[in-house]
Amino acid sequence: MLKIDNLHVKLEDEDKQILKGLSLEVPAGQVHAIMGPNGSGKSTLSYVLSGRDGYEVTDGGASLNGDDLLEMEPEERAAAGLFLAFQYPVEIPGVGNMTFLRTAVNAQRKARGEEELSSGEFLKKVRAKAAELKIDADMLKRPVNVGFSGGEKKRNEILQMAMLEPRMCIMDETDSGLDVDAMRLVSDGVNALRSPDRSFLVITHYQRLLNHIQPDVVHIMSNGRIVKTGGPELALQVEEEGYGDLLTGAQ
């Protein structure tokens, strides 16, 4: 599904290398978690994969189902099935959440040559998904993320994910800011989406999320690279011992 090979990324306007030879492969149907200290480059990786400006790939590459991701515009990557749940979802005043969602869903369908959803179909679907995530009608009407609490923003990200039905979901610290119940709701939402042809890359600092969303593989990232890869037990080890030994052990 997602294949990242020896990816080197620096900031465009600064002489600062952030990703330094990162390799990673997420096969279809699997959930991979990435953990790693602050500043190790996790968000940068998610931005580079989804096509944000400001970075320069100096070496290596990334592909989604064999297609070169880095050649595509952000909207093309989305239409190809990539989705990023942002660590910091963006507020867009004046654009209604519903209009935004519907435009996104139909733009992707159109780009894939599928028929657009009618307003009726869309409404039915969005109401059902919103109800599952306990997102009320008022939040759907309000401008995108404006005045949403931290947890509401995160739930809104998962609502978008549920509506867009991407094949490759990257979740950047979706658990931070969620209360215990919301964490369960979000995890249920994610688990409901799990399927043999959909993969997840879950970036998190806490093992707790991984109790709900059971990963197949856990990667430890440090200083722009994956330094260790293992099973779910790796997350437990991080939780108990911190990164200290893992990082020194890896070097």
Partner 1 sequence: MADTAVKNQDVTPQVTGEAKPANALDARLAALSLPEGGFTAAARADALARLRDMGLPAPRDEYWRYTDPKPFNAPEAAPLALGDDLGDSPLFGDLDRLKLVFVDGVFDAEASDDVALEGVEIDVLSVADRQAAHWAGDLYGALEASGQKPVKRPFAALNTVVARDGVLIRVTATPAKPVHVIHRRGSADADTYWHHVVRIEEGAELTLLETGMSGARSNGALEVDLQKGAKFNYITSKRAVHETVGLSHIFARVDAEAQLKSFTLSVNGRVMRHEGVIDIVGDDAFAHIAAAVLGDGDIGPFHHDDTVFITHAAERCESRQVFKKVLKNGAEGVFQGKILVKPGAQKTDGYQISQALLLDERSQFLAKPELEIYADDVKCSHGSTTGALDEEALFYLRSRGIPHERAIIFLVLSFLADALAEVEDDELRDQINDRLEAWLTDRAGK
Alpha-carbon distance of 200 to 168, in angstroms, equals 6
Which one, 57 or 140, has the nearer CB to ligand ATP? 57
Which one, 11 or 137, has the nearer CB to ligand ATP? 11
Which one, 111 or 250, has the nearer CB to partner 1? 111
CB of 201 to partner 1, least distance (A): 15
Q: Which of 30, 40, 43, 199 binds Mg ion (CB under 5 A)?
A: 43
3-state secondary structure 181-250: HHHHHHHHHHHHHCECCEEEEEECCCHHHHHHCCCCEEEEEECCEEEEEECCHHHHHHHHHCCHHHHHHH
Tell me if 43 contacts ligand ATP by CB under 6 A: yes
Using the structure block, give the residue that is written with the tokens 């688990």: 191
* Residues in contact with 163: Cβ distance below 8 Å, sequence separation at least 6, in sequence order: 101, 104, 105, 125, 126, 129
Contact partner at residue 92 from partner 1, ligand ATP, Mg ion, none, CB < 5 to 8 Å by partner kind: partner 1
Which one, 90 or 113, has the nearer CB to Mg ion? 90
- Footprint of partner 1 on this chain (CB under 8 A)? 50-53, 73-75, 77-79, 83-84, 86, 89-95, 100, 103-105, 107-108, 111, 143, 160, 164
